Amino acid sequence: MVWELAQELAQELAQELVWELAQELVWELAQELVWELAQELVLFLSPAKVEQPMYLTLLVPAH
């Protein structure tokens, strides 16, 4: 009986540990993905790389 309880407890602890590790891994991967996407967006939108679209050129009055 004690052995069965110990096995059950060990199994529950192992499941909790695996679940926590999986959640932590997913969270870290999500953070890395968001960071990389933010960096790509900044590069994409940087003034040196963005050309003014033609429709915006037509909407801005000439000085």
pLDDT of residue 7: 95
**Whole-number Å distance between alpha carbons of 21 and 25:** 6
Mean pLDDT by 10 residues, the chain (63 residues): 94 97 97 93 74 56 58
Predicted TM-score (pTM) of the model is: 0.57
Element (H, E) at 34: helix 2-45
Burial classification of residue 41, based on how many CB atoms lie within 10 Å of its CB (0-12 exposed, 13-18 middle, 19 or more buried): exposed
